[in-house]
């Protein structure tokens, strides 16, 4: 787990804080997703193969930390030094091109948190077109 994320869970709480629906908890008793799952359970479920979707993948080391609804997630790339925050947005994906569902929301978890605390996140503007760069490492991390 990324060190800053670990400190948030240790010092602030087992989820429930953060933008929109709140950061997912890590363990039982913490804040859960709509499906009642913790961040760890969401990660494990998403890493599992889906026989009906042979092209499906969830990158190793990418922890979903917050659901935006409509199958969208904010995730932290725990393999990146800065804790890059990614947006998983599968809704426009067609032809099973799952690498196209990944975007860079923020280059670092620290910047993402700062944007949230200042009320400047993309989710604050209902008319925002989500003009984010694609996460180029997605296909290589399948």
Q: How far is residue 17's CA from residue 12's CA, in Å, rounded to a whole number?
A: 8
Say if residue 137's pLDDT is above 80. Answer: yes
pTM for this model (two decimals): 0.93
The secondary structure element, H or E, covering residue 6 is: helix 3-11
Round to whole Å and give the CA distance between 91 and 13: 31
List Cα–Cα distances, 110 to 4, 19, 82, 115, in angstroms.
8, 14, 8, 9
Give residue 128's pLDDT band: very low, low, confident or very high (50, 70, 90): low
Work out the pLDDT band at 96, boundaries 50, 70, 90: confident
Mean pLDDT within 93-104: 87
* C-alpha span between 3 and 90 (Å, rounded): 28
pLDDT digits (tens, 9 = 90+) for 35-77: 999 999 999 999 998 888 877 889 999 999 999 999 999 999 9
Q: What phi, psi does 5 have (nearest 5°)?
A: -65, -40
Q: What's the chain's length in residues?
A: 142
| Token pair in block for residue 1 | 């787990």
Instruction: Say how many Å lie between the first and final Cα of the chain, rounded.
Output: 18
Indicate if the pLDDT at residue 25 is higher than 90. yes
Domains of the chain: 3-47+57-135 (3.40.1580)
């Amino acid at each position: 787990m990324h060190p800053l994320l670990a400190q948030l869970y240790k010092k602030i709480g087992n989820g429930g804080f953060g933008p929109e629906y709140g950061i997912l908890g890590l363990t039982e008793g913490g804040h859960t997703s709509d499906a009642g799952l913790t961040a760890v359970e969401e990660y494990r479920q998403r890493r599992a193969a889906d026989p009906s979707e042979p092209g499906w993948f969830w990158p190793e080391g990418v922890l979903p930390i917050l659901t935006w609804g409509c199958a969208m997630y904010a995730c932290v790339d725990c393999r990146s030094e800065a804790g890059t925050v990614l947006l998983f947005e599968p809704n426009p994906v067609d032809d099973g091109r799952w690498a196209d569902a990944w975007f860079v929301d923020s280059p670092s978890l620290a910047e993402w948190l700062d944007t949230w605390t200042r009320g400047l996140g993309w989710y604050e503007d209902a008319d925002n077109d989500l003009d984010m760069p694609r996460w180029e490492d997605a296909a290589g991390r399948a």
